[in-house]
Amino acid sequence: MAFIIAIDGPAASGKGTIARALAGHFGFHHLDTGMLYRATGAKGGDPVAAARGLTPADLARDDLRSAEAGQAASRIAAIPEVRAALVDFQRRFAEQAPGAVLDGRDIGTVICPGAAVKLYVVASDEVRAARRAAELGADPDEMLAQLRERDLRDSQRAAAPLRPADDAVVLDTSALSIEDAVARAIALVERAR
């Protein structure tokens, strides 16, 4: 049986960085589930058809990290039929031996509720906006407004809203270096193995 690590949290909290580091440290597979939604949104057209027809080539597009792709992902992620089309893909991915790390918004609550480890990674709005602005070369105030809009949409959607699983460990990265955040996450996983 695969060892599954579910990492959820809002944009720019550090969940992707932590997920990649954990996957590398433990030799597990990694899936940034947000990329599925970004790729679906970037395809354009009918979002349900785009989700059903998603291919590995769609995930390799070089424009998926843009702010526009993130906003499109948040909008289409609120469509229940899009979510349903991508659930099976994510669950199959999670079952790969020896283990998998999935990061997103609903991994611990919907996709892999039985995950061995569930982390909910957070950071203050201002820290997240500064991180995303530095990553994209954008205005921090504009990023702050976009992140708050997205957080509101993601947490209030009817289908799989952004929230921590009841048994998730909350990891606040606001004042942590990347190394410290990763070290804390590794320690949590090691205790569960």
Q: Which residues contact 45 (CB under 8 A, 6 or more apart)?
A: none
And the tokens for 68? 């526009």
For residue 68, what pLDDT is reported? Answer: 84
Which SS3 state, helix, strand or coil, does residue 30 take?
Answer: strand
* Among 173, 120, 148, 157, CA closest to 14: 173
Q: Which of the four pLDDT bands, split at 50, 70 and 90, describes residue 151?
A: very high
Q: Tell me, what's the pLDDT at 97?
A: 95
Is 177 annotated as contributing to ligand binding? no
**45 in a labelled binding site:** no
Specify the DSSP class assigned to residue 168. Answer: P
Question: Annotation-wise, does 14 bind a ligand?
Answer: yes
Q: Are 75 and 41 in contact (CB under 8 A)?
A: yes
Stretch 160-180: mean pLDDT:
96
Does residue 95 carry a pLDDT above 90? yes
Was 12 annotated as part of a binding site?
Answer: yes
Calpha distance 148→100 (Å, rounded): 30
Domain hosting residue 110, numbered range:
3-192
Domain of 60, CATH number, reads 3.40.50.300
pLDDT at residue 180 greater than cutoff 90: yes
> pLDDT digits over 38-70, tens only?
999 998 899 999 999 988 788 888 889 887 888
> At 42, which amino acid appears?
A
What pTM value is reported for the model?
0.88
Q: What rounded mean pLDDT belongs to the chain?
A: 93
Domain count across the chain: 1
Residue 1 has pLDDT above 80, yes or no: no
Instruction: Please tell me the predicted confidence (pLDDT) of residue 99.
Output: 97
Q: Provide the Cα torsion 146, 152, 154, 156; round to 10°.
A: -160
The pLDDT value recorded for residue 102 is 98
Q: Which amino acid is at 141?
A: D
Contact by Cβ (8 Å): 48, 40? no
Q: 148: how many CB neighbours lie within 10 A of its CB?
A: 14
d(CA 192, CA 131) in angstroms, rounded, equals 30
16 is in an annotated binding site: yes
Q: How far are the Cα atoms of 63, 156, 169 from residue 138, in angstroms, in the given order?
A: 15, 26, 31
Whether residue 34 is annotated as binding a ligand: the answer is no
Q: State yes or no: 173 annotated in a binding site.
A: no
Residue 10 marked in a binding site: yes
Side-chain half-sphere CA neighbours of 140 within 13 A:
8
**Is 11 part of any known ligand binding site?**
yes
Average pLDDT for 68-90: 88
Question: Do 78 and 153 contact (CB within 8 A), yes or no?
Answer: yes
